[in-house]
A and B are shown apart, each in its own frame.
Chain A
Amino acid sequence: MATTVIGQGITIEGEVSSDEEVVVAGTVRGKLQVDGPVTIESGGVVEADVGATSVAVSGTVTGNVVASDRVDLLTGGRLVGDVKAARVTIADGAVFKGNVDMDV
């Protein structure tokens, strides 16, 4: 289990950078830069610009999201900010406000 998990009830204020999978079930404020997949679980809050290979959002994200591969906004997910990725999916029931840039 070589991952980073920011658990429920934990708040990180500042800069998080990693080369491995990051799972956010708590709160991150600042910056989240990951060379790997990022999962924001239901109840997870990210108030930060996110950079990763892929981002899956079931929680709340406020900030711009840039992914080299894909961004998946899942049911119950909430995203306010611009999204830039090769592939973007928005599930039924997800909340999204912002621009999408998909290198057309």
Chain B
Amino acid sequence: MARTDSRIGQSTVIRGTIRGAGDIDLHGRIEGTIDVDGDVTVADSARVKAPVNGGRVVVRGAIAGNVKGKESVVLEEGARVVGDLAAPSIGIRRGGLLRGHVASGEHADRAPTSVAARATRPATTQRTAPAAAPSQKKAEPKSEAKTEAAPKLVEPTASPLTKPARTAPAPVMPALQKGAKAALKKKAR
């Protein structure tokens, strides 16, 4: 097919959806979604903030988003991907950086159910722990975190004690019994 290949130049910014048939070379900035049947090449100057779906995807630039290839996904030198990779064939060359989940071969199609479901549960607890740790190291948030955590621990134990005081203060005057007023009047006479 004599299609003109598509090319998004270095100084071009696209906000929105790119879809259709044909190969595409990305050199610029794309925010949105990329859904193409043909080959997708993300050049080293490209900054992609979008899920990328293509036939064969070759990455030498930066992608924030999941990358899915019907045939293959290859991260070459200079690739920086934050997101999950899924394709029947996946390659990460020396110098390619990735933070995310990889599902290749037969797992590519059912990655979210089988592999990822098992992997994400421990991963989420692991991921949240390092994420919280650096913020506590910044001195000030640490004390905040402690003060925040402390009342939470104290409250449940303290609340049963404080509750009676909250409802109504104990009467200062003793409540008069039935007939007490009449008795007082009799005494006064």
Task: Name B's A-contacting residues (CB within 8 A).
Answer: 3-24, 28, 32, 36
Contact = CB atoms under 8 A, between A and B. Distances in A.
A16 interface: yes
A5 interface: yes
A85 to B, nearest CB: 22
Q: Report whether over half of chain B's contact residues are helix, strand or loop; otherwise say mixed.
A: strand
Interface of A: 1-22, 25-27, 30, 41
A11 B18 contact: yes
A15 to B, nearest CB: 4
Contact of A14 (B3, B17, B21, B22): B17
29 contacts: A1-B7, A5-B7, A6-B6, A7-B5, A7-B23, A7-B24, A9-B21, A9-B22, A10-B20, A10-B21, A10-B24, A11-B17, A11-B18, A11-B19, A12-B17, A12-B18, A13-B19, A14-B17, A15-B16, A17-B12, A17-B13, A18-B9, A18-B28, A19-B11, A19-B12, A20-B10, A20-B11, A20-B12, A26-B22
